[in-house]
Amino acid sequence: MTTTVNNKKLNINKYIDVIATIVVAVTLFVLFFIYGVQKGNDTHCYETFRVEVMDEPIYSLFLALFRVIFGVDIYLNFAIAAQTLFAIFSVYFFVKSVANEYSVHYLVRILMYLIMLSFYTMPVIFSRTGVLTFLSILTEGIAYPLFMIFMVFMIWTINNDSYKWWWVSLATSFILSLTRTQLLFTLVMVAIAGIYIGRKTWVKASLKVLISLLITVVIMKIVQSVFCYSILGMFEVPPNSISMYGNAMLIADEEDSELFEDELVKSVFMARYEDMTNNGWGWEFYQGDSVFDAASFYEDCYDNIKDHMSMGSYFDDNNITYGIEKYNIQNATAKAMTVKLIPKHFDRWIYNYVGLCLVGFIRTVAVSPFNLLMQIYSLIVYGILVAGIIKNRKDSTVLLFGLLTIVGVLGQVCETSITVMCISRYMMYMFPMVYFGILIMWFGKYKKSDI
């Protein structure tokens, strides 16, 4: 009798997987034919191997592969078709793997598919740009689905104390980090998992993890350098200090020009500060009362400050025309300002940082972070997640999913907020994990996998 019931449940799950995957595939391909190729501000960097993406070679090479095979006129259509198929596969693989691992009810399984469908389609409704990641010529086109696959490998690692899946997780994190540097936090997640599965000999495990991570980072740097040499003819990957420069200039005061001994740095600072004053972008114009107000002001100003970091007159006066030389001088100047301004105004910087983190936490699970209702909703979501962790504190297997989710959210939000604002496109990676975590910890029944 029990065997018959189990077989019936298995058949229901198979039907759900097939039907749900078909629904997801039809939906995504309908959107594919409606919207076609979508481009963002950084698309041209990946298409043309710009210096700004030398540390993220994977996506540029992905596009180059399709350009070589299909030609320059139509290759982007085939690229987003491949991204769409990858997204569909990630939905099927992620839901089936997690649902089977925790033996969830078939209704929960259906909810999981709906969550993943919303993960890929919500921007149509809620995003200001309406950019769908699987149709966009941006790193998220392949990073989103690969990240979901990475999380499955992480779950198999911690649930089975498996070094085999730990190495697979590390390799996937390596690829993710070369696809989008924002995902370097996945290496931290892998490190924590490695120490956990080796907890019986944690000193030896920690040493193993440390050595493995160091080797991984070295290989990553070698790959970036080789890629940079093949494109630019130089092994040293040019640094990118412009993002942090935007943070630093936002909190500056006019008298901060006295911090800089270098005349070039001082003149650039004064010119940019005057530009900010004329446009109402500087800290002197901030009139908010909370960290949310600070984050909102930051989002209004950041891109304008960063994008106006121009040194055209200096380059013209000194006959500097070579692109890489311009880029290096601009970044060196930006870095020189950043390392002086942030320490002086650290209180302002940390105030902004807290606000950005709170916005990031909200955008991980919701939209409109400056709306009070969305703030309350997000607080409720995280409250349910934490309550689930407490509820399952004696059930280590289910508890681990919740802790993995918390670590992922903290890593992603805290890393991103250091350099840039937490827009939804950057924050959505952990969206499925949070809602899956709630379902599993409140409705999941763990079953040891056969892997």
pLDDT tens-digit map of 5-18: 456 566 889 999 99
Of 366, 354, 382, nearest to 428 by C-alpha is: 366
pLDDT: which is higher, 328 or 84:
84
Q: Of 263-277, 327-341, 364-378, give the range with the top mean pLDDT.
A: 364-378
Predicted local distance difference test score (pLDDT) of residue 396: 77
pLDDT at 431: 96
At residue 286, φ and ψ (nearest 5 deg) are -75, 125
Beta bridge partners of 136: 38
Average pLDDT of the residues in 323-342: 86
What is the per-residue pLDDT for 449?
44
104-113, 224-233, 359-368, 394-403: which range is least confident on average?
394-403
> What's the average model confidence in pLDDT over 433-442?
94
Least confident of 32-36, 52-56, 346-350: 52-56
Provide the pLDDT confidence category of residue 450 given band limits of 50, 70 and 90: very low
How far is CA 125 from its chain centroid? 21
> Measured between alpha carbons, how far apart are the two ends of the chain, in Å?
26
Q: How far is 324 from 303, CA to CA, in rounded Å?
A: 22
Average pLDDT over residues 249-256: 91
Identify the pLDDT of residue 175.
97
pLDDT in tens, 355-380: 999 999 999 999 889 999 999 999 99
pLDDT band at 313 (very low <50, low <70, confident <90, very high): low
Does residue 298 contact residue 221 with C-beta atoms inside 8 Å?
no
Residue with more model confidence, 324 or 406: 406
Average pLDDT on 215-226 reads 96
Tell me the average pLDDT of the chain: 90
Residue 115 pLDDT: 96
pLDDT band at 317 (very low <50, low <70, confident <90, very high): low
Which residue has tokens 């940019």?
A: 272
Q: Which residues of 388-427 are buried (b: 16+ CB within 10 A; e: fewer)?
A: bbeebeeeebbbbbbbbbbbbbbbbbebbbebbbbbbbbb
| 17-29 tens-digit pLDDT | 999 999 999 999 9
Query: What's residue 119's pLDDT?
Result: 93
Across the range 235-253, mean pLDDT stands at 85
Range scoring the smallest mean pLDDT among 164-178, 195-209, 232-246, 275-289: 232-246
- Per-residue exposure over 323-339, b if at least 16 CB sit within 10 Å of its own CB, e if not: eeebbbbbbebbbbbbe
In this predicted structure, the answer to whether residue 32 has a pLDDT above a threshold of 50 is yes
Contact 111, 439 (CB under 8 A): yes
Give the chain's largest Cα–Cα span.
87
What is the per-residue pLDDT for 343?
Answer: 94
Confidence at residue 26, expressed as pLDDT on a 0 to 100 scale: 97
Separation CA 60–CA 261 (nearest Å):
39
Euclidean distance between CA atoms 413 and 4, whole angstroms:
46
pLDDT at site 83: 98
Q: What is the pLDDT of residue 451?
A: 38
Mean pLDDT over 417-435 rounds to 91
For range 117-133, the mean pLDDT? 80
Question: Which pLDDT value is given to residue 4?
Answer: 55
Q: How many CA atoms lie within 13 A of 166 on its CB side?
A: 22
User: Rounded CA gap, 240 and 324, in Å?
Assistant: 12
Residue type, 41: N
Q: Across residues 319-333, what is the average pLDDT?
A: 78
Tokens of 142: 């392949």
> What are the DSSP E strand ranges found in 285-327?
none
Residue 2 has pLDDT above 60, yes or no: no
Residue 245 has pLDDT above 50, yes or no: yes
Domain ranges of the chain: 2-235+354-443, 242-344
Residue 446: predicted pLDDT: 54
